[in-house]
Structure 1
Amino acid sequence: MSKQIQYTDEPIGDTKLVADFLPSPSELKLKNDSTKITITLSTDSVEYFKSAAEEYGMQYQKMIRQLLDEYVAHQRKG
């Protein structure tokens, strides 16, 4: 078993009140609606995105999604 915690009445020290910086629940919803699909990609493409995503510390599926979103935004401008 783990060691029992010993609580004391010692002072905590200097404390500082910080402003609430967390988003409200309504701000936590996704900015864009999403539709789940099944897609078959080449092994080379998936390996590339997995490698790039690992390098940048993100999810490869999110990276692909952002790339497609950028493509659509560019096509709509033109």
Structure 2
Amino acid sequence: MELINKALEFEQRKMKSLSTSDRIKISREAKQLILDLNQIYKQKKDDRIMDIMKRLTAIKRKVEKRLKGKPLMA
């Protein structure tokens, strides 16, 4: 349950005006939370855990998209 609370706190963080290093930290933390929640999900098969993982994945993708930047026009 502590891990679920940590994931919910992570969701509530402000994600505006972040530096590149902050974005990297957030991406890594989200990945670790998702992997840890997945281990719990494998045992319990609780849909709430799956919903949390989906929301964290969306946040992670959004941050990583900003890290990669716009593709260059050739």
TM (normalized to structure 1)? 0.30
Which has the higher Rg, Structure 1 or Structure 2?
1
Bigger relative contact order, structure 1 or 2, given CA contacts below 8 A and separation 6+?
Answer: 2
